[in-house]
C-alpha cells in the first residue's frame, strides 16, 4: 500500500515537472500574481470599492487581463511573444490608471513575468 502511494506520488511529480518544463511556468505565475495584486488593491480592507471610477474599474479589468495573459502563457506557450507584449502594455497602463499599478509591485511583477515569457525558449528535442 505504502509503496503504491509512493509510486503514485513519484509519477505525479514527474508529470508535473514535465508539464512545467514545456512552458514558461514561472512567467505565467508572476503574471497571475500581478493580476491578482492589481485587481485586489482597490478592495483590500473594506470589501467594497470606495472610489468607483477609472481607477477602480481599470484595476479590475487590467488585473483580470494580466491573469488571463498568465494563463495564456501556460496553455498556449507558442503565443508567448504576443502575450508578453500585451502584458507589458497592460502593466504600463495599470501603472497610470490603477493606483500606480498596485502600488508599483503589481506592475513590476507583470513586467518581470512578461520578460520571462518573452525570453523563454522551448527545449530542443534530442
In a domain, 126, yes or no: no
Number of domains the chain is built from: 1
In a domain, 67, yes or no: yes
Residue 53: which domain range? 24-119
- pTM, whole model, 2 decimals? 0.85
In a domain, 16, yes or no: no
In a domain, 6, yes or no: no
For the chain, the first-to-last Cα distance in angstroms comes to: 37
In a domain, 5, yes or no: no
In a domain, 38, yes or no: yes
Tell me the per-residue pLDDT of 33-57, one tens digit each, with 9 for 90 and over. Answer: 999 998 888 777 665 555 567 777 8
Tell me the per-residue pLDDT of 70-99, one tens digit each, with 9 for 90 and over. Answer: 999 999 999 999 999 999 999 999 888 887
Which residue in this structure is represented by grid cell 477602480?
Answer: 56
In a domain, 111, yes or no: yes
- Whose CA is closest to 125, among 25, 21, 16? 21
In a domain, 57, yes or no: yes
Which residue in this structure is represented by grid cell 520578460?
Answer: 115
SS3 for 14-68, per residue? Answer: HHHHHHHHCCCHHHHHHHHHHHHHHHHHHHCCCCCCCCCCHHHHHHHHHHHHHHH
Q: How far is CA 32 from the centre of its chain?
A: 2
Amino acid at each position: 500500500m505504502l509503496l503504491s502511494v509512493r509510486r503514485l506520488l513519484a509519477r505525479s511529480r514527474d508529470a508535473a515537472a514535465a508539464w512545467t518544463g514545456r512552458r514558461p511556468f514561472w512567467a505565467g505565475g508572476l503574471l497571475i500574481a500581478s493580476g491578482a495584486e492589481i485587481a485586489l488593491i482597490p478592495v483590500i480592507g473594506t470589501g467594497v470599492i470606495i472610489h468607483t471610477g477609472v481607477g477602480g474599474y481599470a484595476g479590475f479589468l487590467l488585473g483580470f487581463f494580466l491573469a488571463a495573459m498568465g494563463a495564456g502563457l501556460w496553455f498556449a506557450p507558442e503565443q508567448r511573444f504576443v502575450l508578453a507584449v500585451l502584458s507589458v502594455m497592460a502593466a504600463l497602463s495599470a501603472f497610470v490608471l490603477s493606483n500606480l499599478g498596485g502600488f508599483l509591485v503589481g506592475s513590476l511583477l507583470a513586467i518581470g513575468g512578461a520578460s520571462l515569457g518573452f525570453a523563454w525558449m522551448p527545449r530542443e528535442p534530442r
